[in-house]
Amino acid sequence: MARVTVEDCIEKVPNRFELVLLAAQRARGLSRGEEMTLSRDNDKNPVVALREIAEETVGLDNLREGIVRSLARAPEPEPVDEEVMDLIPTDQNIFGLQDISSEEENAHMAETMSQEEISAMANHR
């Protein structure tokens, strides 16, 4: 197929507005580095996307799902590798800091600190 036209794609996607959305989604994917299913032939990404749609070398359902995911308010979290999870400390108190919101711990801290330290902390806030 030397040139792609809307008429070539309308047979596959009857709604022109949906066709534009699908082609744009695929073109963005190509820009991100997704693998092309056809040769580029010096065409830019939107033309390659339309050619792929016309020749049915890409899954339209996958493109539709990608559009829905991209329009979602909160993006889906990316999966974390096990190697990365091993690097994340599981101890909540990794820096030896205390949770200062606890009244009990505040009372204990006040008991163990001198009056000068308490005054210095109050003036520092």
pLDDT of residue 55: 92
Q: Mean of the per-residue pLDDT values for the chain?
A: 80
- Report the sign of the C-alpha dihedral through residues 44, 33, 10, 64, in that order: negative
pLDDT, one tens digit per residue, over 101-112 is 566 666 666 667
Q: pLDDT at residue 115 above 90?
A: no
Q: What is the pTM of this model?
A: 0.55
Domains of the chain with bracketed CATH: 6-71 (3.90.940.10), 95-125 (no CATH)
pLDDT of residue 1: 45
Name the token pair of 110. 């006040």
- Torsion angle, CA of 49/52/54/58, rounded to 10 degrees? -110
